[in-house]
Amino acid sequence: MTKAYLIHGTSTRDDDWFPWLEQAAAPTIQLDRLWLPEPFNPQRDAWNAAVDDQIKPTDGLILVAHSLGCITALRFIERHQIKDARLLLVGAFDQGLPTYPELDVFMQPAPDYGQIAPKVSKATVIAAKNDPIAPYKNSIQVAHHIHAKLIVQETGGHFLTSDGFTQFPLALKELQRLAK
């Protein structure tokens, strides 16, 4: 059985498509949905500490991340000596959002892709052109920095329940690809 971890952003571990993905990936992939403190008032250091407490840095690590969880996953890779990391990033961004200036402090410092990219062996970034939260062009930049497969959909919003995402077969397909 392959182990993977899900780092969500500004939602709870039981929201959106996260429980569905955990069930759909089983039994081949054991997906652990992480607990993050104060998901609606994220603090960078608290989130980093929570992730460090729940994930042992190992070679071949698979991280699935959504929204603000994406930069948290990138920072985890940056902080640890890991080889062959595999990433599935959904609605990724690595800079402040004009509509959410309260996240500006969380977004600093910017990820050091010079430290991250060499540790990543496989990655996929999924974005939607109509994402009202994270501009899809930022997801394109993140994908470029980590040499990821990029999937840009015309629609999908920010891939939340309110956007119709209680199930996410594309995420499952990409997770299975990363686990091979």
Strands (E), the chain: 2-7, 29-33, 62-66, 85-90, 120-128, 149-153
pLDDT the model gives residue 71: 98
Chain segment 31-50, per-residue pLDDT in tens: 999 999 999 899 999 999 99
Q: How far apart are CA 78 and CA 100, in angstroms?
A: 25
Active-site residue among 11, 67, 145, 163?
67
The answer to whether residue 10 scores a pLDDT higher than 80 is no
Residue 117 Cα distances to 87, 111, 164, angstroms = 11, 10, 32
Please state the domain extents for the chain: 2-179
52 is catalytic: no
- Does residue 162 have an active-site annotation? no
Cα separation, 46 vs 37, in Å, equals 7
- Angle at which helices 44-54 and 68-79 pack, to 10 degrees? 60
| Top-level class of domain 2-179 | alpha beta
The tokens for 43 are 């603090």
Catalytic residue among 11, 131, 139, 163: 131
80 is catalytic: no
pLDDT in tens, 72-119: 999 999 999 999 999 999 999 999 998 999 999 999 999 999 999 999
